[in-house]
Amino acid sequence: MAQNAVAPVVITELTKSYLHKLSDSELQEHFIKFSNKFAGALNNCLESELNVLQSYLRSITAEMSERMNANKK
């Protein structure tokens, strides 16, 4: 059970690392792609898929915000 609790943290960190390596345009492409998937999941009422996509979209927007804030400095 403890291993399952750690898995989401590891996945989140791996996702952050992956997103950090993308170019701005690749990050934007990911955002658009997963936004479209999210909209499709909304239409099909797939709650489990919505949760995963929402989490990924939050990670993408966090990376975008971090980059925008870094560019302001």
Of 67, 6, 70, the residue nearest 31 (C-alpha): 67
Measured CA to CA, the distance from residue 41 to residue 67 in angstroms comes to 28
From residue 23, alpha-carbon distances to 7, 48, 49, 53, 70 in Å are: 27, 29, 26, 20, 14
**Banded pLDDT at 69 (limits 50, 70, 90):** very high
Residue with tokens 């170019």: 23
Domain boundaries, the chain: 46-73
Confidence of residue 51 (pLDDT cuts 50, 70, 90): confident
What integer is the mean pLDDT of 16-31?
94
Using the predicted structure, report yes or no on whether residue 2 has a pLDDT greater than 60.
no
Q: Among residues 61, 30, 57, which one has the least CA distance to residue 42? A: 57
